Amino acid sequence: MHRLPSQTAVTRFRLASLLLLAACVSALSAVGVLGYSMYEQDKFLMIIGVALLCTTLILVIFQLLVASRARCPLCLTPALASKGCSKHRSARRLLGSYRFRVAASILANGHFRCPYCGEPTAIEVRPRRAHEA
């Protein structure tokens, strides 16, 4: 199993995963609140729904920024960003998304399998070799 080169990379992967799931939850709740506010004709709920939509937009932008620099240590492809590259033949999805599977695996198990090269990576810093120290 591969490991990440630095603590910064570990933080990037965890943050990008959290932001991806938070953006998804925020988008779903925004749709729910907006739908309910239209059904109830409630302007206050509608303002909350629009605020949730803005929050979702901000979360998505931050996620794109963080995820674009969280690269797989083997193939150097950002595993949490949506690229047009072809996926590994054994790559699998969660809820129709390769990124969700990577994010859920990072948060739940502490490791992920890159959807592009298919190699497993632990979310921990690789030990330094003696001549590098």
Residues engaged in binding Zn ion (CB under 5 A): 72, 74-75, 114, 116-117
Q: Which residues contact 103 (CB under 8 A, 6 or more apart)?
A: 16, 17, 18, 20, 21, 80
Compute how many other C-beta atoms are within 10 angstroms of the C-beta atom of residue 112: 23
CA distance 120 to 129: 21
For Zn ion, the closer of residues 34 and 74 by Cβ is: 74
Q: How far is the CB of 1 from Zn ion (least distance, A)?
A: 13
Q: How far is the CB of 111 from Zn ion (least distance, A)?
A: 13
49, amino acid identity: G
For Zn ion, the closer of residues 98 and 116 by Cβ is: 116
Sheet strand arrangement including 111-113: 2-4, 120-125, 111-113
For Zn ion, the closer of residues 75 and 125 by Cβ is: 75
Q: How far is the CB of 112 from Zn ion (least distance, A)?
A: 10
Q: How far is the CB of 88 from Zn ion (least distance, A)?
A: 8
End-to-end Cα, the chain, rounded Å: 22
80, amino acid identity: L
